[in-house]
Amino acid sequence: MNPTRRTGIVRDPRYGDHCMGPDEPECPARLAVLDAMLAAPDMRGRFHEVAPRRADPEDLLRVHSPAHLRRLADTEGRASTYLDADTSASPHSNEAAQLAAGGLCEAIRLVCAGRLDNAFALVRPPGHHAERAKAKGFCLYNNVAIGARFAQQRLGLSRILVVDWDLHHGNGTQNCFAADPSVLVFSTHRAFFYPGSGRLGEVGKGPGRGYTVNIPLLPGFGDGEYLTLFDAILKPVALEFRPDLVLVSAGFDIHTDDPMGGMKVTSRGFAGLTRAVLDIADACCGGRLLMTLEGGYDLAALRDSVGEVLKELSGMQTTPLAPILASADRRKAGYVVWRVKRVHRKYWKSLALGNAAEKPSRLERARAAMARVVAYFTG
């Protein structure tokens, strides 16, 4: 099947020059397996290469402090610089990180100019944990936040939807946009897990209240449950918000084989999530969708899952959603949907609770509460 969409990919060998150590899960091999996948006969030549550039300082400064830029610049040429307990920089890390942010911005520019339909920035280091003045959780610059502000300030777009399906909550992204109603941040992530933020009640601040939608999850959620949350919560809210652009922090550490965290999403599930987000972008903004790589540490799972996402983005395949939705544990997913609607119905008309049948029984709520207590003390 010939691709029906012009899909760009951002990649560059300099992303491999960032290395935090020989035993770190966020390592150059993550992109090496993706390069090998893209060289396979069924994938070769199907995507448009996007050459990255270093992000302009003014683009970085829309998200990060001058002191943060200086601190990362000071790491250039140094053997190793520890930035936090989980994050360090090698001699070329700052260049790689600026190329990651700049590469995403360049892909956004090409999509918004109509030269591409969508794109996937296969970059590292990842970004969604990086705060205004602090590197954190393997992340140096917050790529998706920089991309959102670039789209608004450089390209004149008004409303941006950020979807984050990484295992870990994107604390940096949330904090960047918490008070901003022009950016809607939707995040599914493991509850009671690193970095400790992303509670259901964190809905934004001031004029941004309601524009942060957090869905913390207990381990064990798989394809059907994730897609149910996208269908029942993300889709109606996004259609009500009507974004001009959709950005995805695409983490693959929710894969069932990933060592990080206990979720059960398969490679087919990632294709389904991509299809769901594509449908939103098609309905709201002419299909303008950009993805940027976040987590994902089982190399085979990462390779297969990114391959499925790229096939979906390019139109090489179209995954039917009904069978995946039908596979969901309705009781487990339905309880989460009910909890999210109960918090966010005051902000979004599309999340009004329906009939009494939507409400879980007292026993179901008690079981779920006990599971959250156990997860809190064991997770």
Q: Which residues are catalytic?
A: 129
Provide the β-strand partners of residue 8. Answer: 48, 119
| Phi-psi label, residue 228: left if phi above 0, alpha if psi -120 to 50, beta otherwise | alpha
Contact between 113 and 286 under an 8 Å Cβ cutoff? The reply is no
Are 293 and 124 in contact by the 8 Å Cβ rule? The answer is: yes
Rounded to 10 degrees, the C-alpha dihedral 187/190/195/201 comes to 60
Residues contacting residue 75 through CB under 8 Å, at least 6 positions apart: 81, 83, 89, 90, 91, 93, 94
Helix axes 362-378, 330-344, angle to 10 degrees: 90
Report the run of H or E that residue 300 belongs to, with start and end: helix 299-314
Distance CA 8, CA 361 (A): 47
Q: Which of 148, 359, 371 is nearest to 248 (CA)?
A: 148
β-bridge partners, 293:
250
Element (H, E) at 179: none
What does each C-alpha distance from 219 to 85, 128, 264, 332 come to in angstroms?
25, 21, 8, 11
Q: What are phi and psi of 249, to 5 degrees?
A: -85, 100
